[in-house]
Amino acid sequence: MESQSLLPAPLLLLLVCTSSLCVLALAGKSPDEASLLALKSSVDPSGVLPWRRGSSAGGVCSWYGVRQCSPKGRVTKLVLESVNLTGNLHAGLLSPLDELRVLSFKSNFLSGEVPDMSGLTNLKALFLDDNRFSGEIPASLGTLHRLKAIALSGNGISGRIPDSLTKLPKLYALFLQNNRLSGRIPALNQRELRYLNVSGNLLAGEIPRTLALRRFDSSSFAGNPNLCGVQLRKPCKAIHSDPIFSPPLVPSSSSSSSYTTPSSEDGKKRKKRIAVIVSGSAAAFLFLAACVPLAAAFFLSSRRRRRSTPAAAEGGGGIRGEDAAGPSRGPNSGGGGGAGGGKRVFSWEAERLGKLTFCGGGAADYSLEELLKASAETLGRGTAGSTYKAVMESGLVVTVKRLKDPGSGGAGHDGGEFRRGGEALGAIRHPNLVPLRAYFQAQQERLLVYDYFPNGSLLSLLHGSSSATGRGGGGKPLHWTSCLKIAEDVAAGLQHLHEAAGVVHGNVKPSNVLLGSDFECCLTDYSLAAFVTSPDSGGGGGGGPSLVYRAPECRQLPRGAGGGVTPESDVYGFGVLVLELLTGKAPFQDLVEEYGEGIPQWVRSVREQGAADSSSGGGNEAPPAEEKLAALVSVAAACVSTRPEERPAAGEALRMIREARAAASSNGSDQSPGRWSDAVQSLPRSYGLDHMSLTERD
């Protein structure tokens, strides 16, 4: 009996030891290895992918196409683009990879239906464009509430666009062009939607009149013969105009007796009615003729009163309360709040109205009347003018910059000159530039209308909301990957201004860098010299850069002459901005004069001090990060050279920054702090024109 009672103990010990050996044997092995190998067997029948069990000491995180893993070894970013995959995707093979954030099979030869991906609950970006998929878009995509980017263009997908896509709260980009989609476009109305293309399909009906869809122009919807709407400048036919529903022009024989020739009595009644109408019209004409002189006299009198009281005209027309007391969030902040309190501020009298002109071929998202009725809050004031957050009755929010009175010596007082400047700036489009959406001019009023950026400016990100003056130097350095991302965005915007648009910014500084919905950086207030060059304004930026951001060769020039701004002086301001990113300190003095060639050592000491102050702060870099940090410091040091000819062009600076980011992304252990999500970092910069694929981005 005793021997039987002792049997379970050895068995239990054997089981424990066996389990421990199994755990040790599996140590370092990713739980996604089996799933990836099963996926390879389906999508890669030709054996293109060099995936093998236990083929790398680093595990699956070092496999080709695995761009990023979590600390637990789970695959979070899988990018297999242009590698000649020819198989099929099956839902059952993808579901185990439930930690994926980014999945891309762009530009392959995959076929079959787009699989159900409801198991990928963490997915943020899906790129299956330029393959051979068929069937319909799975409605289950609408259950992936973290999904931000969907690219299914260039396939043979048919059926309707599922209405479930309207339930994706964070949808940022949707590319469905060049398929065989039919039916109506769902009423997409996500606030974050910034990229949309459904062109080249078989869609029909009216484009939904949502605020989100009204942001896009005809290029997003072209190539759908049966589609109509404001964006296409193609009105939709009303149902009642269809001949099928029109009454018959000729009465039927059964009722022909009802349509007899009018009798002589009816003719007499008709003559009486005509006489009454004629006499009434004559009386009305005489009354109006008597009123015209009175109206003219009243108009001239009121016009003299307005000319004699310019202050009253300033208060009653245009934006009121410009000099009202109360703090603002900086002259170029994109965020809300500040003076103004939401009162109605656009109230020109009818006879003073000019024309609201929309730029870049974009649709008229709102009427002049809607803009004039908007309530507004003051965001800031500068030498170029005042900036407001305008909220229309429809809920649409825009940023309005009211330029200073051109009669005070500024440029652009000629209406034609202002229009030319507005058209030139309005034609500039780039993902890292805040687009000019519309402009308005009426007598002494000039407005520029931009998109509203609720996340504020880079200045507030670096130094907090108390930094409206631009001198809040108490911030901490950002994580080095964030520094690279911000520097790349700003450099890309500058390159487009200099090379594609042929203009200079003129006022590069953190308050002129606004943060988008996912903290992508966009330059604003660029090339305002087209509108403002008054003696107290500083050149191209409509107010001139602060002294520490101005290049040395521009500081002694008369500000009324435009401050001598050049592409080289823009690059100098960019270099100072990058140093501010790296150190978290606002430049109170000329950094070149203060530190000279010791700038890299100064940056390193500041970040080391930040790391010492906080064990988990933004300055706590692991040793592999030092190389990436040094690369960005060298870019900034080159940009702030005292000799303009020695500074790199914006495009060259961008190339160096992208090389540093590419080197960073090759280390799968490098983790971005999460402020810029994988989905946003992976989006193409200008889809179909300047496509930055996932393999070229972090």
- 648 close to 571: Cβ distance less than 8 angstroms: yes
Residues 6+ apart with CB under 8 A from 654: 488, 491, 492, 494, 495
Average pLDDT of the residues in 592-601: 59
Give domain status of residue 221, yes or no: yes
CA dist 338 to 175, 449, 466, Å? 38, 19, 12
- Exposed/middle/buried for residue 557 (C-beta within 10 Å: 0-12, 13-18, 19+): middle
Same domain, yes or no: 449 and 568: yes
Q: Where are the alpha helices (DSSP H) in 409-463?
A: 415-426, 458-463
E strands, 481-637, where?
Answer: 513-515, 521-523
Mean pLDDT, rounded, for 261-277 = 50
Number of Cβ within 10 Å of residue 642's Cβ equals: 14
pLDDT tens-digit readout, 370-408:
888 888 888 887 767 889 999 888 778 899 999 876 654
Q: Which range, of 4-8, 88-92, 657-661, averages the lowest pLDDT? A: 4-8
pLDDT of 521 > 60? The answer is yes
For residue 433, give Cα distances in angstroms to 226, 306, 401: 34, 39, 16
Q: How many residues does the chain have?
A: 698
Strands (E), 14-163: 66-69, 75-79, 102-104, 111-113, 125-127, 132-134, 149-151, 158-160
For 572-585, the pLDDT digits (tens) are 999 989 988 888 87
In the three-class reduction of DSSP (H, G, I as helix; E, B as strand; rest coil), residue 31 is classed as coil
Residue 291 lies in a domain: no
Minimum mean pLDDT among 261-265, 455-459, 514-518: which range? 261-265
The CA-CA-CA angle for residues 562, 381, 549, to 5°, reads 45
Could you give the CA distance from residue 291 to residue 309 in angstroms, rounded to a whole number? 27
pLDDT of 53 reads 82
Beta-carbon-side half-sphere exposure of residue 139 (alpha carbons within 13 Å) = 6
Q: What is the mean pLDDT of residues 460-478?
A: 61
Where does the pLDDT of residue 123 fall: very low under 50, low under 70, confident under 90, or very high at 90 and above?
very high
CATH of the domain at 115: 3.80.10.10
Alpha-carbon distance 390 to 373, whole Å?
A: 9
Q: At residue 496, does pLDDT exceed 80?
A: yes
CA distance 493 to 508: 11
pLDDT for residue 171 is more than 70: yes
Return the pLDDT at 231.
84
Say how many C-beta atoms besides its own lie within 10 A of residue 493's C-beta. 27
Lowest mean pLDDT among 57-71, 612-626, 640-654: 612-626
- Extract the tokens encoding 275: 């006489």
In a domain, 26, yes or no: no
Which of 502, 496, 412, 493 is closest to 448 using CA atoms?
Answer: 412
DSSP 501: I
Residue-level pLDDT at 284: 60
- Mode of pairing for the β-strands spanning 226-228 and 195-197: unpaired
409: domain CATH number is: 1.10.510.10
Highest-scoring range by mean pLDDT, 3-12, 236-245, 369-378, 624-633 = 369-378
Query: Has residue 261 been placed in a domain?
Result: no
Q: For residue 471, how many other CB atoms are within 10 A of its CB?
A: 13
* pTM of the shown model: 0.52
- The answer to whether residue 18 sits within a structural domain is no
Residue 664 has a pLDDT of 63
Position of tokens 């500039």?
A: 428
- Domain assignment present for 310: no
Number of domains in the chain: 2
How does DSSP classify residue 88?
B
* Segment among 243-252, 277-286, 360-369, 502-511 with least mean pLDDT: 243-252
Task: Write phi, then psi, for 552 (nearest 5 degrees).
Answer: -55, -35
For the chain, what percent of residues have pLDDT higher than 70? 59
Same domain, 413 and 561: yes
Q: Is residue 25 part of a domain?
A: no
Report the alpha-carbon distance of residue 532 to residue 379 in Å, rounded.
19
Mean of pLDDT values over 274-294: 59
Quick check: is 16 in a domain? Answer: no
Distance, CA of 658 to CA of 665 (rounded, Å): 10
DSSP 220: G
Tokens at residue 285, please? 């004409």
Cα distances (angstroms) measured from residue 533 to each of 115, 423, 539, 559, 643: 58, 18, 6, 8, 26
Please check the confidence at residue 626 and state whether its pLDDT lies above 80. Answer: no
Position 607 scores a pLDDT of 64
**Which of these three, 238, 262, 278, is where a domain ends?**
238
Tokens, residue 373: 């009725």
pLDDT class for 282, splitting at 50, 70, 90? low
Residue 238: alpha-carbon gap to chain centroid: 35
* Domain end residue (candidates: 238, 255, 270): 238
Neighbours of 77 (CB within 10 A): 25
Highest mean pLDDT among 150-159, 389-398, 508-517, 688-697: 150-159
Q: How confident is the model at residue 557 (pLDDT cuts 50, 70, 90)?
A: low
The C-alpha atoms of residue 484 and residue 618 are separated, in whole angstroms, by 13
Structure confidence at residue 490 (pLDDT) = 96
Is the distance from CB of 56 to CB of 62 less than 8 angstroms? Answer: yes
Rounded to an integer, what distance in angstroms lies between the CA atom of residue 323 and that of residue 109?
A: 62
Per-residue pLDDT at 663: 72
What is the domain extent for residue 381? 343-667
Task: Say whether both 567 and 433 belong to one domain.
Answer: yes
- The phi, psi pair for 343, rounded to 5°, reads -80, 160
Mean pLDDT within 224-252? 61
- Whether 58 has a pLDDT exceeding 80, the answer reads no
Number of Cβ atoms within 10 Å of the Cβ of 641: 18
pLDDT at position 545: 52
19 compared with 606, residue with greater pLDDT: 606
pLDDT value at 146 more than 90: yes
Instruction: Return mean pLDDT, the chain.
Output: 72
Query: In this structure, what token pair is assigned to residue 330?
Result: 């900086």
Residues 356/358/363/364 CA torsion (nearest 10 deg): -10
Query: How far apart, in whole angstroms, are the C-alpha atoms of residue 451 and residue 270?
Result: 59
Per-residue pLDDT at 486: 93
Pair (504, 381) in one structural domain: yes
**pLDDT given at position 276:** 54
Biggest CA-to-CA distance, the chain: 131
CA–CA separation, 42 vs 36, rounded Å?
10
Residue 476, pLDDT score: 66
Q: Which residues make Cβ contacts (< 8 Å) with residue 574, sequence separation at least 6?
A: 490, 491, 494, 508, 639, 650, 653
pLDDT at 361 (0 to 100): 65
